[in-house]
Amino acid sequence: MDTAALDYELPPELVAQTPAEPRDTSRLLVYRRGEAHAQHRIFRDLPDLLRGELVVVNDTRVVPARLRLRRESGGAVEVLLVERLSDNGAWEALVRPSRRLRAGEELGAVSLREPLGEGRWLVEVHGIPDGEMPLPPYIHEPLADPARYQTVYGRVEGSAAAPTAGLHFTPALLRALDPARVTLHVGLDTFRPVSAETLEQHELHGERYSVAPAEWERIAEAERVLAVGTTTVRVLETVARAGALTGRTDLFVTPGFEFRRVDALLTNFHLPRSTLLALVMAFAGVDVVRDLYREAIAERYRFYSFGDAMLIL
Average pLDDT, the chain: 95
Output the pLDDT for position 244. Answer: 98
**Reported pTM:** 0.94
Predicted confidence (pLDDT) per residue in 166-177, tens digit: 999 999 999 999
Report d(CA 290, CA 310) in Å as an integer: 13
Output the pLDDT for position 27. Answer: 98
Q: What percent of the chain has a predicted confidence (pLDDT) above 90?
A: 84
Q: What percent of the chain has a predicted confidence (pLDDT) above 70?
A: 99
Q: Is the predicted pLDDT of residue 140 greater than 70, yes or no?
A: yes
Strand intervals (E) in the chain: 27-31, 39-42, 54-58, 60-62, 66-70, 76-84, 90-96, 106-107, 110-117, 120-125, 156-159, 180-184, 207-210, 225-228, 246-249, 264-268, 309-312
Report d(CA 300, CA 35) in Å as an integer: 22
Domains 3-62+134-312 and 66-125 share a fold: no
Q: Is the predicted pLDDT of residue 308 greater than 90, yes or no?
A: yes
Output the pLDDT for position 191. Answer: 66
Report d(CA 226, CA 233) in Å as an integer: 9
Give the domain ranges of the chain.
Answer: 3-62+134-312, 66-125
The DSSP result for 54-94, as a single string, is: EEEEE-EEE---EEEEE-TTS-EEEEEEEEE--TTSEEEEE
Q: Which CATH superfamily is domain 66-125 in?
A: QueA-like (2.40.10.240)
Q: Is the predicted pLDDT of residue 99 greater than 90, yes or no?
A: no
Domain 3-62+134-312 CATH class label = alpha beta
Output the pLDDT for position 278. Answer: 96
Distance of CA 166 to the CA centre of its chain: 9
118 vs 245, residue with greater confidence: 245
The model's confidence at residue 206, banded by pLDDT at 50, 70 and 90, is confident
Instruction: Please compute the mean of the pLDDT values over residues 24-48 and round it to a whole number.
Output: 96
Q: Is the predicted pLDDT of residue 188 greater than 80, yes or no?
A: no
